[in-house]
């Protein structure tokens, strides 16, 4: 089906460099044809497939000295029963994949799928602890890298491979962190940026309650999406008299 669609016209631009083409397909195990959307995206320029002259010994007439490299595409075929338009189908599947990536990270990197028991109460207790730690760590990593999400497999070696030493002299506490990661300079600047934020928050903390401080932390972590806006605590509900 992909071979047939490759040379067809009618491709429409979907999103982020993807093109979409709608068709129908019936596999041998299906009792009827189903709606499918073929999507493709051209690979980067440095990923090419050169013609193999040994597999194709027949000589061809060309207007260049050597055959040009053939640009490659990556394909995906979406089988759906939705009635939305083609571009909407592509967006739905892309949003679904983004959500599933988070669940995959929690299950495989944080241990959400690493325990089984028939006792419902312990399962709920452990799953809530894992979700809470995942949320806290994700917010902390967003403070470190506000422009993108770093999965645990990357962020934990980057931000946890440190040894801290706390010294106290003249009623002052000093924390010295020694980092062993290869990106030590990047991590040092990251921690300095986080330290500067919390120093500023600490200077204003006497005027803020715990909920307002939490809103400031969330605003800093999610500033990419908030555009610099500061989250405000929800107003308390007033019961009708």
Which helix (H) or strand (E) covers residue 78, if one does?
Answer: strand 73-80
Instruction: Identify whether residues 101 and 160 lie together within a single domain.
Output: no
Judge whether 125 lies within some domain. no
Look at residue 8 in the predicted model and tell me its pLDDT.
78
Of 2 and 143, the structure prediction assigns the larger pLDDT to: 143
Look at residue 235 in the predicted model and tell me its pLDDT.
78
Instruction: Identify whether residues 97 and 163 lie together within a single domain.
Output: no
Tracing tokens 């040009």 back to the chain, one arrives at 68
Judge whether 136 lies within some domain. no
Look at residue 54 in the predicted model and tell me its pLDDT.
52
Residue 229: pLDDT above 80? yes
Judge whether 100 lies within some domain. yes
Judge whether 177 lies within some domain. yes
pLDDT, one tens digit per residue, over 98-132 is 778 888 888 888 888 777 678 888 888 888 999 99
Say if residue 26 is exposed, middle or buried (CB neighbours under 10 Å; 0-12, 13-18, 19+).
exposed
Structure tokens at 166: 């706390």
Number of domains the chain contains: 2
Judge whether 14 lies within some domain. yes
pLDDT, one tens digit per residue, over 145-191 is 888 888 888 888 888 878 889 999 888 888 888 877 778 888 888 88
Judge whether 25 lies within some domain. yes
Instruction: Identify whether residues 96 and 166 lie together within a single domain.
Output: no
pLDDT, one tens digit per residue, over 14-69 is 877 888 888 888 889 989 999 988 888 888 765 545 444 455 555 544 444 444 45
Instruction: Identify whether residues 6 and 102 lie together within a single domain.
Output: yes
Kindly report the pTM of this predicted structure: 0.60
Instruction: Identify whether residues 15 and 89 lie together within a single domain.
Output: yes
Judge whether 82 lies within some domain. yes
Domain that holds residue 17: 2-45+69-106
DSSP of 197-223: HHHHHHHHGGGS-HHHHHHHHHHHHTH
Q: What is the 3-state secondary structure (H, E, C) of 137-185?
A: HHHHHHHHCCCCCCCHHHHHHHHHCEEEEEEEECCEEEEEEEECCCCHH
Instruction: Identify whether residues 13 and 99 lie together within a single domain.
Output: yes
Judge whether 231 lies within some domain. no
């Amino acid at each position: 089906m992909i071979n047939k669609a490759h040379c067809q016209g009618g491709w429409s631009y979907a999103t982020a460099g993807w093109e979409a083409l709608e068709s129908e397909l019936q596999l041998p195990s299906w009792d009827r044809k189903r709606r499918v959307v073929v999507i493709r995206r051209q690979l980067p320029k440095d990923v090419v497939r050169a013609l193999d002259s040994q597999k194709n010994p027949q000589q061809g007439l060309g207007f260049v000295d050597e055959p040009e490299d053939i640009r490659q595409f990556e394909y995906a075929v979406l089988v759906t029963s939705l009635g939305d338009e083609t571009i909407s189908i592509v967006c739905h599947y892309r949003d679904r994949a983004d959500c599933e990536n988070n669940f995959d990270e929690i299950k495989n990197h944080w241990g959400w799928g690493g325990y089984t028991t028939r006792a419902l109460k312990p399962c709920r207790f452990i799953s809530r602890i894992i979700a809470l730690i995942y949320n806290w760590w994700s917010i902390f990593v967003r403070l470190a890298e506000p422009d993108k999400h770093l999965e645990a497999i990357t962020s934990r070696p980057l931000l946890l491979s440190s040894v801290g030493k706390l010294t106290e002299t003249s009623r002052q506490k000093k924390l010295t962190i020694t980092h062993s990661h290869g990106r030590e300079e990047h991590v040092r600047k990251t921690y300095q940026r986080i330290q500067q934020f919390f120093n500023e928050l600490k200077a204003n903390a006497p005027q803020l309650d715990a909920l307002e401080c939490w809103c400031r932390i969330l605003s800093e972590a999610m500033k990419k999406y908030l555009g610099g806006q500061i989250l405000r605590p929800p107003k308390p509900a007033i019961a009708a008299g």
